[in-house]
Amino acid sequence: RKEVEQDPGPFNVPEGATVAFNCTYSNSASQSFFWYRQDCRKEPKLLMSVYSSGNEDGRFTAQLNRASQYISLLIRDSKLSDSATYLCVVTLTTGNQFYFGTGTSLTVIP
Amino acid sequence: EAQVTQNPRYLITVTGKKLTVTCSQNMNHEYMSWYRQDPGLGLRQIYYSMNVEVTDKGDVPEGYKVSRKEKRNFPLILESPSPNQTSLYFCASSFISPTGAGEQYFGPGTRLTVT
């Protein structure tokens, strides 16, 4: 069973749309949660950490639901530059071993 | 400029020929890690290191070795590469907080082909 599961998409949305991604994790002892962004053939880069109370960074909002073991990412007012693959990342209790989802592909269309 | 560097960026080699991929960071990070990325499987952690001389296995350590003799360097060694180790490899580093490793900074990747 995979530690982290994501819908691979692709999600194709028009500019200005709101899009949401979910990610489920299997281990209830998971400790830290992140969303990374990866552009084609490039290295992943941190988009945002996910905190228990939820957090927002501009057009991006991340939520954590420990009871149902999922995290979500909401992107409002999508821009062409948001086109990328979004990776859900989870660490276990020790906080030192990282598990990545396979990523969700987003294309924002003009 | 704060960065993680990897070398080489591209490598084609033959089965059984030992190789080393270097990784270096200039941010004084305690934590360093190696990942491989394969289509449909995502990034999988190979090895990680909490500090000098401290290394631990990740999810897919078989066929790989690492060492951490200096804080800034974390080389990945393939003693006898096989075709199933053909992949895109990323090195990453981060500071360690009370809850563990935090935001990871990734190197540009090394594309390895083993024939």
Per-residue confidence at A95, pLDDT binned at 50, 70, 90?
low
d(CA B89, CA B108): 9
pLDDT band for position B1 (cuts 50, 70, 90): confident
A60 and chain B in contact, CB less than 8 A: no
pLDDT band (50, 70, 90) for residue A28: confident
Q: How far is A95 from chain B (nearest CA, A)?
A: 4
Can you say whether residue A89 is alpha, beta or left, with left for phi > 0 and alpha for psi between -120 and 50 degrees? Answer: beta
| A43·B103 Cβ contact <8 A | no
- Identify from A2, A55, A97 which residue to disrupt to test chain B contact, counting B C-beta atoms within 10 A and taking the largest count: A97
CA-wise closest residue to B63 among B79, B42, B48, B75: B79
Interface contact flag, B100 A44, Cβ < 8 Å: no
- Cross-chain residue pair B45–A98, CB shorter than 8 Å: yes
In B, which residues are within 8 Å of A102 by CB distance? 40-42
Q: Which residues of A touch B33 (CB under 8 A)?
A: 98
Residues A37-78 pLDDT 10s: 999 989 999 999 998 888 999 999 999 999 999 999 999 999
Q: What's the CA gap between B94 and B76, in Å, rounded?
A: 17
Asked if the Cβ–Cβ distance from A99 to B45 is below 8 Å, we say yes
